[in-house]
Amino acid sequence: MSLLVVTAFIVDLLIQSPVPIPVPIKAVQPQIPEIPMVTTSRPRPAVKPFVVGGVQVDQHQFPFMVSLQFRGEHFCGAAIIGPNHIATAAHCLVDYPLEEVAIVAGKHDLSLDESTTQIRPIDGISDHEKFNPYYKTAYDLSILTTNEPFIFNHAVQAITLFGTFDEEGEATTIGWGKLDENDDDSALPNILNSVNVKVFSSQTCDFMYGNCVDCPTYLPEAMLCAGNKDLSGGKDACQYDSGGPLVIKRDGVNYLAGVVSWGVGCGRAEYPGVYARISTLLGR
């Protein structure tokens, strides 16, 4: 898939989005920037489990939510941003053969054969131009494309991309990931869950993670962090939530502000979850 095609698509999206700026992404093979390697307290920091401290959502409450599945098993979340385009975390697909990954939309309960389900294979993938597939946590964004468009209805819809988001405020993260970081992988929930979190200022996030010796480097220009409003933990994304949306609401409309990227455990005090800023796809 060419950069020209993806950029044209995003520009079309921006007719309905707050920031009319072209997108700095490139197709298939990302450039590998000079980024220092750091260690992490988790074996795969970007693949976060299910939401911690959340609740089951109403059926099709978030119709833009999709499940990425490998051989029928959920492994990451994503969000529909157009009939043929999906936004997710780039690290989600680093270790998976694309021809065996399915984009599954219109789901509420993963254990049921729901009539609203729409399944599409991945036709192309465009990573953010600054994403490093070895380091995985910086500019952790990809746009997936499908040959056959999704059919929009009450259960399948697109979400609008949000521009620059620097103020503190309320948001929601969604997923089929673990409910607790100590849960076994076999104990994943079947029903979609959500949790309301507070998005913290760049200064707060940078300070919290700047004091973490073994954490990946926090990049304010590329990341957001969000969690319990008093930093006491207990509200977060977790393993298998990676790539899922961080949603903010303005005047009753849902906007995609970020995607689940990485964190220190799940729901731990003083370590809010980290999200890739969707605004980096808009040139900001």
Q: Supply the residues annotated as catalytic.
A: 91, 140, 242
Q: Report which secondary-structure segment, H or E, holds 274.
A: strand 273-277
Instruction: Tell me, rounded to whole angstroms, the distance of Cα 145 from its chain centroid.
Output: 16
Q: What are phi and psi of 273, to 5 degrees?
A: -65, 150
Looking at the DSSP bridge assignments, the partners of residue 86 are: 80, 144
DSSP code of residue 222: T
Longest Cα separation, the chain = 49
**Amino acid making up residue 139:** Y
CA angle 132, 137, 139 (to 5 degrees): 65
Lookup: tokens for 246:
């961080």
Looking at the DSSP bridge assignments, the partners of residue 104 are: 67, 119
**Amino acid making up residue 186:** S
Nearest-angstrom CA–CA distance, 158 and 87: 10
Q: What are phi and psi of 5, to 5 degrees?
A: -65, -45
Q: How many CA atoms lie within 13 A of 25 on its CB side?
A: 33
DSSP code of residue 26: -
Instruction: Tell me, rounded to whole angstroms, the distance of Cα 224 from its chain centroid.
Output: 11
Nearest-angstrom CA–CA distance, 275 and 139: 10
Lookup: tokens for 265:
């455990």
